[in-house]
Structure 1
Amino acid sequence: MFSKLAHHSLILLCLLPLAKADVVIPKGAAGWNYLHVTDGIDPATADADFTTTWFHPTTGGYVGGDYDGPAFITEAPAPFHFGVVDGLAGGTELPSVGTGIDRTSYFYLVFDGGDGFGGLELSLLADDGAFVYLNGTLIARDGVDDPDTFQQLAALGDESAYDEIPLLGTPVVQPGANLLAISVHQNTTLSSDLGFDLELRGTPVSSLQIVRGPYLQSGGPDRMTIRWRTDQPGTSVVHYGDAPGSLDSTFILPGSSTEHVATLTGLAPDTTFFYQVETTDGSSTAAAGGDAEHHFSTSPPPGSRKPTRIWVTGDTGTTTAAKQDVYNAYLSRTGAAATDVWLMLGDNAYEDGTDEEFQAALFDAYPELLRKTPLWSCIGNHETVTAAGAPYLDLHTFPTAGELGGIPSGTERYYSFDHGNIHFIAIDSETAGNYDDAPGNGGMIDWLEDDLQATDKDWIIAYMHHGPYTRGTVDSDSTDHLVEMRHYVVPLLEQYGADLVIYGHSHVYERSMLINGHHSAMSLADSSSTTFDPLLHVVDGGNGSSVGGVDATSNFATDGGDGPYQKPAAAGGAGTVYVTCGASGKLSGWANGSWDSLNPDPHPVFSTGLLAMGSLVIEIDGNTLHAIYIDQWNSLRDDFTIIKGSTIGISAADPDFSEQGPDDTAVFNLTRSGAISFAEDFLYQTGGTSTAGVDFSPALSGTTSFAAGETNRQIVLTRMKDQEAEGPESIGIELVTAATTVAGGNAPRQRYFLAAEASAEATLDDSPSQQWWFESFGAATPGPEEWKLDTDGDGLSRIEELAFGGSEGTNDRDRAPSADREGNRFVMRYFRRPSIPELSVQVQRSADLSAWETDGIEDDPDGPVQPAGTEPWKSSIEASGDAGFLRLRLDLEN
């Protein structure tokens, strides 16, 4: 006994409905233009090109060809008819045409094709036949054969019903303006009627659209990431250049996607580029940009100290009008000035961090800034509600491999980057395993210390969602994520010299004094507000402002400023300012339930606590960080400045001195500004052609020291005479930078800043006689014998040429002294050069050629000063009966 196994096959046939065609041109459409010939004369007799031009003229927004034929009557409704045409009524009644003559009429309609249509279908009633054109191309014939001329007759007659007309090829309606034209022909010259109407249908072309962006990410000195989203997959292309009309470079990313992530590399630093993004799917193209509103600037070269503007917004995930007011206030405050860095502090999309919420709260809210400024963010608690933060991570591109400075993190949840002389660190205070990480696990805490140890930048700014100190929406004494930040994150930041820590989560504004050490010291020890000790933890308890301060009404008053915070550069544990900036999207009350404008029970680290929506604007220039909090009405609500390190400059107060004469010193002024409340040493190097200890004293050590509070010092150099004729000698002093590592760090940081005027030079001149020798004979050390030589054969020695205004290589005999008797006086005439103080010229007398004296000799000018500066003189003595002698004595002191 056995059984049979039956095999059954079931075939399911699923009948899918055909895509429904939309009506593109309805029956009875208005706006037609027509040429109805009633006299039987071919329009081509007036315009030889009529037959080839009438069906695609340039008109009504449609760009076709030139048409010079008879004018069409405009703006008429269909259907068109004369006589009795079954199936047509209303519309435009045409004048009747007599029998026995040719009669063909012409019609065209300009219509908007929207995003375009394909799969066209034509329903036509034409009495008696017709040619149909779309955008200058024949797409259908009904009862007629080529050619389409005025004399052409239709093959059939007396049409009375709409027919579906097969189309020639696969015509499409293009996006925008289109032109449909139809010529209607009689089947005989004896026909008593004519008319037509039609309906054109089609399937909408699915036009590619950019539905997000473009927006900028991960900008650096040599790169920029441009992202955008399309509703269908397509290519990723970026055109860019130095002007909207000069987008000469093109980036093409292989493949097809809806999420377009184009990272341009090889860019010049500190340069503005204009750009256009473009995506095509083979049938349509979508583009954005190519105008003055789509541009970005690469960051300055690493370490360069270019002024930088930073905008900080926290908890912006709402879509309220007040949030937009905060944005508009910032735009109004900054005007045309560029935003270099934009930091978002998390909770950027309420309530669940979905992609749709990001679209509404981020991309729809800040389109102008997103396309011009790279956006940086840290992850908040609302970002992780959906798929553990997947939408947030998917829409961002942050550096993970250290490609923009810093140590590779391997994750976009925490990372770092550099902008000029600023190091930014994004901390993950939300994700389990990161916010509660501990040293030695190879996780975020170890990465953070490595990153801090490796940076050599002047400024360090850290940002996170949950901050270490607040009594706003939450209390940092008892909220887990905030407590964890004080265990290991804050101790590391302060140890390695962080200047500013910014965070949100509390929907208020709070700002600390300059503090240090109020944390758990790399442990799990209690660091609640009850452990705060001003004597231990306050570095500067002022309000940090040179402008004013927050008054009792919570407004900012332009008086009462305590002055900027000062801290040394390249030093750890020197003070940090903490800012809660979580009110850019919404407000919540204080931790104790109060909704007062000023926090009635602030955390003790804070100088200011405001219940005011707004944003933080930071400007860093050299060694100065200046920050303001502006509210949604663009009112200033807080102001503080950190000056980090001092700036040293030098100038030559007395830059010239000489080996001869009263000007025996050169003076250099050293000026220190900035953070001057510390004693500090500065380094310099010397240069020039002079030699310390030979040409001037003292020998320069290469170091100058300022006491705490001291702002000015001088370096005074005193000449030292020598016997060398060597020409002017220079002494240059150039201030140089000095670097040191923060305790535990391995990257030297600059410990002071150089002013724009960081070098100066002085000149030590030879004595005039040495300069004359140098110009005449070159460098030498001439002694008495060399001065007595006559090397140009004019009878004057070198010292005589020097004294009498002569020069080497010329015949100076006429400058030699002369003697004569004038009346009862004996006179000697000579020249002397007064510009050489070390040279003495003296006429002496003697009776016996052994004892010489000047008694009785009268010295008088003997004429005007000569162009070369020499002066003619005469010396005379009364002639007597006794014999006597005169001589001219030259003495050169070197």
Structure 2
Amino acid sequence: MIALLSLAFGQPPLNPQTITKFDEEWWVWISEQPPPDWPVYELPPNQSALSLLPEATRNHTDRVLYWGEAQLKENTIWWSELMAPYSVRSNAKFNELLPKREKSIAKRTASGRAPFSRTELVQPNSEPIRQLYLLKSFEVEDPSSFVSLQIEAKFQRGLRIFLNGTELVLHDLPDSNHNAYAELQTELPEFQQQDIGATDRWQKAWMALPTEALRKGSNIISAQAHRLPDQDNPAIYFDLELSGYTDFGFVKAPYLSNPRSNGISVLWELSADGSGVVELFNENKELISYFPSYSFNHFHELRIDGLQANTRYHYRVVSDNIEDERVQTELKSFITPPDDDTPFQFLLYGDSRANPEIHSKLITLMAKEAEQHDIPFVVHTGDFVTYGYVWGLWQSDFFTPAAPLLSQVPLLPAIGNHEVRQPIYYHYIDAPDNESWYHQRYGSADFIALNSHVSVSPSSTQYQWLKAKLEELKSSDRWKILFFHHPPFSCTPQRKPGYGPIRNHIVPLLEQYGVDLVLLGHDHLYGRTPNINGTMYLTSGGGGSGLYSGQTDAQNEVCVEKHHYVKMSVHPDRIFWEAIDSRGELIERYELPKRRSSP
């Protein structure tokens, strides 16, 4: 018998509970020789980890330890009380970075903060060790209370993680033996990256891991962190958190994306593997079709095609787990965009990162707009979260506050610089074409999204694609609307005159092909330019991030420092919009008439 557990939209999403994380209680094996009996099922018998540091310095957060070649060859014991995370560098690289490190320590100390919270292991120049072995013991009172486990790790670069000797994670390590080098296994498109800034480390979450290896009482989590052959900034890096879900349910309530006049995508995430089906209803709430997922997984992305343009539908999502427990949503509705010149509305906002409370206020206002009007999509101009590689920020700062809107209004996204080109963005976001730059027609308008965080030079793939697309559309009388993150004409004084690559390379194309309107973010305010050589630029970057000061000039008629969203109305002969602040008050109402001259 199926047991119904929850209705998604009426309840907060599930979040994992921390079981254990990296701290000074971990043991580490630093040697050219592997530890005995690896992987470890229990703490090594008749042996305790030895403290590497004197009592007086154990709690110091900035730990630099030089490890000589002789020590590497002779070490046959586990060490403890080394503050995590761990970094391993060669002596040459450490000395190269030392001035920058000392400057950072001085700055942090002057502001009353601890210098760092990590242990730096400085290795001989000749051949730094290729891997670290790490383990920790932790207690679990009732392992049966967890339906799945989750691991989030920061690492460089090959990784293997065990729970009580059972392998849970194997990443970029084709040869997992001792002294093996990591080897990159995944080729990413040019517009994606895994690296996190100059430190060249990665961060990744593994979801819906099995719980069978978890046992009552004492448990051992252990890991191997392997370096690449020629990487040294750092050579090895490791940090980890193990968490678990105690209930089966929605981690990310169903949300809508990639709207078209004849289809839409429905996506959702579960706390454990489960089936998935979308039930589709007509405007009168009569069931008309089922769309099964055909996969038993924790994440589902279903494409619903064969819809009618400018038509309202209702839908429900149902998922069952292996224990015949069911979660389902109540009915929600959406409307498809028109495929003719029928006027339509859409919502616009961006830079929602870093302040989920304000983001949630704006979402509440926009959700009311969607309940009162037919709104087929919402454009987000980028910077969904502050650090695009952190799984928890996508959960807390974007999907949780945005759920009341995205359950009924599909997302049309542009990527920002704070997503840092991370694969997690492309995992959770569905968009047309390559999902980084794309074109879609809605009613009397052609919408084109760009990725302004990668190259837009004339030799770039993106530039060539845009030029070809604009050439294809040049004879059309429809509106040409572009949206991307970085404004070429900035309201913010410290960013004036604007983002150079866009201003130098993309703006001439926009003017050449008669682009009518460009929607932007990045500056945390509401801004509007005058008509600049036939094109108007509208900045909506007040979705939650801390506001920036604005300053009008010849290229910026309006600069208003308020959190806000914009309601856009598109007609064949005009576009008008209302910018509305977080209190629901009008900032500006503006009308843009359609040009009749051909480019």
Instruction: Name the amino acid aligned to 2:587.
Output: R
| 1:467 equivalent in structure 2 | 487
For 1:327 and 1:238, the matched residues in 2 are separated by 24
Where does residue 187 of structure 2 map in the other structure?
A: none
Relative to structure 1, the CA distance from residue 341 to residue 457 in structure 2 (aligned partners, 3 Å threshold; closer, same or farther) is farther
CA distance change for structure 1 residues 245 and 638 in 2, over 3 Å: closer, same or farther? closer
Aligned match of 2:510 in 464, 469, 493?
493
For 1:254, what is the secondary structure of its paired residue?
A: coil
SS in 1 for 2:424: helix
Contact 1:210 1:286 (C-alpha < 8 Å) held by counterparts: no
User: Structure 1 641/243 Cα, relative in aligned 2: closer, same or farther at 3 Å?
Assistant: closer
Q: Deviations over 1:659-699 (max 9, x none)?
A: xxxxxxxxxxxxxxxxxxx9xxxxxxxxxxxxxxxxxxxxx
Structure 2: tracts of 5 or more residues without a match: 1-35, 44-138, 146-243
Q: Deviations over 1:709-728 (max 9, x none)?
A: xxxxxxxxxxxxxxxxxxxx
The one of 625, 631, 636 aligned to 2:581: 631
Residue deviations 1:346-405, cap 9 Å, x none? 111124452211111221112121011110111111111xxx4221111011111xxxxx
User: What is aligned with 1:217?
Assistant: 257
Structure 1 counterpart of 2:386, from 350, 354, 370: 350
* Equivalent of 1:296 in 334, 357, 362: 334
CA distance in 2, matches of 1:389, 1:315: 17
Q: Is the 8 A contact 1:332 1:634 kept in 2?
A: no
Query: Deviation digits for residues 504-539 of structure 1, max 9, x if unmatched?
Result: 1111222111121xxxxxxxxxxxxxxxxxxxxxxx
Helix, strand or coil at the partner of 1:327: helix
What residue in structure 1 maps to residue 567 of structure 2?
Answer: 617
Q: Deviations over 1:138-183 (max 9, x none)?
A: xxxxxxxxxxxxxxxxxxxxxxxxxxxxxxxxxxxxxxxxxxxxxx
Tell me how far apart the structure 2 counterparts of residues 205 and 469 of structure 1 sit (CA, whole Å).
Answer: 46
| Post-superposition offset of 1:333 | 5.8
Cα distance per residue 1:551-609 (max 9 Å; x no partner): xxxxxxxxxxxxxxxxxxxxxxxx1111121122134343xxxxxxxx4x423112212
Look up the match of 1:390.
423
Residue 13 of structure 1 and its aligned partner are, at CA, apart by 10
Cα deviation, 1:457-477, whole Å, max 9, x if unaligned, reads 611111111110013164233
Does residue 577 (structure 1) correspond to residue 536 (structure 2)? The answer is yes
* Contact 2:482–2:519 (CA under 8 A) maintained in structure 1: yes
Kindly report which structure 2 residues correspond to 1:41-190, keeping only aligned pairs within 5 A, or say none: none
Give the SS at the match of 2:398: helix
Distance, in Å, in 2 between the alignment partners of 1:205 and 1:637 is 43
Say if 1:507 and 1:587, in contact at 8 Å, map to a contact too: yes
Q: Kindly tell me the number of residue pairs found equivalent between the two proteins.
A: 370
Relative contact order, higher structure (CA 8 A, sep 6+):
2
CA-to-aligned-CA distance 1:112-153 (integer Å, 9 cap, x gap): xxxxxxxxxxxxxxxxxxxxxxxxxxxxxxxxxxxxxxxxxx
Structure 1 residue 208, shift from structure 2 partner: 2.8
Determine the structure 1 residue equivalent to 2:432.
Answer: 399
Compared with structure 1, are the counterparts of its residues 421 and 285 closer, same or farther at alpha carbon in structure 2 (3 Å cutoff)?
Answer: farther
Q: Which AA in structure 2 matches 1:300?
A: P
CA distance in 2, matches of 1:13, 1:389: 33
Q: 1:248 & 1:611 partners in 2: Cα distance?
A: 47
Q: Is the 8 Å Cα contact of residues 425 and 463 (structure 1) preserved in structure 2? A: yes
Q: 1:246 Cα deviation (Å)?
A: 2.5
Q: Spell out, residue by residue over 1:759-818, the C-alpha distance to the aligned partner (whole angstroms, 9 max, x if none).
A: xxxxxxxxxxxxxxxxxxxxxxxxxxxxxxxxxxxxxxxxxxxxxxxxxxxxxxxxxxxx
Structure 2 contact 248–272 (Cα < 8 Å) conserved? yes
Q: Mapping of 1:616-765 within 5 angstroms?
A: 616-644=566-594, 742-743=598-599
| 1:424 matched to 2:447 | yes
Partner deviation per Cα, 1:424-473 (whole Å, 9 max, x = no partner): 11111112xx23x21xx361111001111223361111111111001316
Q: Closer, same or farther in 2 for the Cα pair 1:314/1:442, shift >3 Å?
A: closer
Pick one of 397, 418, 424 that aligns with 1:361.
397
User: Residue deviations 1:714-759, cap 9 Å, x none?
Assistant: xxxxxxxxxxxxxxxxxxxxxxxxxxxx55xxxxxxxxxxxxxxxx
Relative distance call for 1:211 and 1:644 in structure 2 (3 A) is same
Tell me if 1:415 matches 2:374. no
Change (3 A) 1:332 1:239: closer
Q: Does the C-alpha gap of structure 1 residues 257 and 457 become closer, same or farther in structure 2, counting only changes over 3 Å?
A: farther
In structure 1, what is the Cα distance between the partners aligned to 2:523 and 2:493? 4
CA distance in 2, matches of 1:486, 1:605: 12
User: Any idea what SS the aligned residue of 2:431 has?
Assistant: coil
One of 434, 448, 454 as aligned partner of 2:466: 448
| Deviation of the 1:635 alpha carbon | 1.6
**Aligned residue number for residue 324 of structure 2:** 284
Map 1:230-269; keep pairs closer than 5 Å: 230-242=270-282, 246-269=286-309
- The 8 Å contact of residues 359 and 544 in structure 2, kept in 1 or not, is answered as yes
Q: Secondary structure at the match of 2:412?
A: strand
Q: Distance in 2 between the 1:366 and 1:255 partners?
A: 26
Q: Deviations over 1:624-655 (max 9, x none)?
A: 20012111122212121112157xxxxxxxxx
The DSSP-based 3-state class of the residue aligned with 1:630 is strand
Contact preservation (8 Å) 1:217, 1:374: yes
* Contact 2:444 2:570 (8 Å CA) reproduced: no
Distance in 2 between the 1:208 and 1:273 partners?
28
Alpha-carbon distance between aligned partners in 2 of 1:205 and 1:364, rounded to the nearest angstrom: 17
Distance 2:571 2:265 in 1: 26
Contact 1:278 1:285 in 2 (8 A): no
Asked if 1:503 is matched to 2:541, the reply is: no
Instruction: Give the 3-state SS of the residue equivalent to 2:364 in structure 1.
Output: helix
The one-letter amino acid paired with 1:280 is D
The answer for unaligned runs of 5 or more in structure 1 is 1-8, 24-203, 401-410, 517-574, 591-598, 647-677, 679-741, 744-894
Residue 357 of structure 2 corresponds to residue 337 of structure 1: no
The 1:239/1:285 distance shift into structure 2, 3 A limit, reads farther
How much does 1:325 deviate?
3.1
AA aligned to 2:518 is V
Aligned to 2:48: none
CA drift at 1:332 = 5.1
* Whole-Å separation in 2 of the counterparts to 1:14 and 1:475: 56
Q: CA deviation at 1:617?
A: 1.5
Question: Partners in 2 of 1:11 and 1:358 — Cα distance?
Answer: 35
1:214 shift after superposition = 0.4
Question: Normalized against structure 1, the TM-score is what?
Answer: 0.39
CA distance in 1, matches of 2:442, 2:429: 19
Q: Is the 8 A contact 1:276 1:287 kept in 2?
A: no
Contact 1:624 1:644 in 2 (8 A): yes
How many Å separate the matches in 1 of 2:40 and 2:264? Answer: 53
Q: Per-residue deviation at 1:422?
A: 1.2
* Matches of 2:246 and 2:364, distance apart in 1: 36
Q: Aligned to 1:515, what secondary structure does the other structure show?
A: coil
Give the 3-state SS of the residue equivalent to 1:316 in structure 2.
coil
- Paired amino acid for 1:273: Y
Partner Cα distance (2:38, 2:490) in 1: 68
Shift of 1:233: 1.6
1:876 maps to none
Answering whether residue 322 of structure 2 is matched by residue 322 of structure 1, we say no
The residue correspondences of 1:592-611 to structure 2 (distance < 5 A) are 599=550, 601-611=551-561
